[in-house]
Structure 1
């Protein structure tokens, strides 16, 4: 795993991913300025981290994590992260105005890391496990995961 100073990222990798036979988060890249050719088309989960020095304050502690997601289509992580990145780079539109993850990344920059599913199933289940582990650590969901409200 690429070293990142966010303790929550490391804890989620250990408690949710590795505890369930998934590889740790890897492949960190800048969402606004990079598009890695090797970003996989396999199923998996990904995390968006806010850029800048200031972390997000949650009810219990703080973290750079803005959003936890999954890539389950035939284009996997690459396809789903690419959709998000396109909306972020284009800026707000009528259809996606106010998506919290996009707004945070547009305002502060951000990074993405991912973990690939060890088999063809389980990305949705792992996304739920990651969000639950985040809730246990911070007593709320990441600011960009509004569907959990």
Structure 2
């Protein structure tokens, strides 16, 4: 079986080198297999490690094929086990940490806005003075001190 990166697969489609495409399920993922004009089979692989490119979401695979101009594909779901896909999904600690930072920032922003609103309400009710008024009074008081 021949391995093709996305770029190679796209070029083969554009030049008419792909006769048919099958989305074949294994476990919880789907893989793109193709029959080429030379009569051999090809599998879509990742660019970096040349591992078969898997799609946990069949819709994403179909969108990719449609983007390349493939509007007719066969689906082989005999070996599909959707429950297996959930357990094989890699954890994303980087995304979890980013979400925690985002949530903390949102919470801090909410708190800050509440504090500003409390301060503005106090000024409107005459309970507090503006900072420049306070510092002006402080300067006058300090100027009156001996020494």
Q: TM-score, normalised by structure 2?
A: 0.26
Structure whose alpha-carbon radius of gyration is higher: 2
The structure with the largest helix share of the pair is: 2
Q: TM-score, normalised by structure 1?
A: 0.26
Higher RCO by CA contacts (8 Å cutoff, separation 6 or greater)? 1
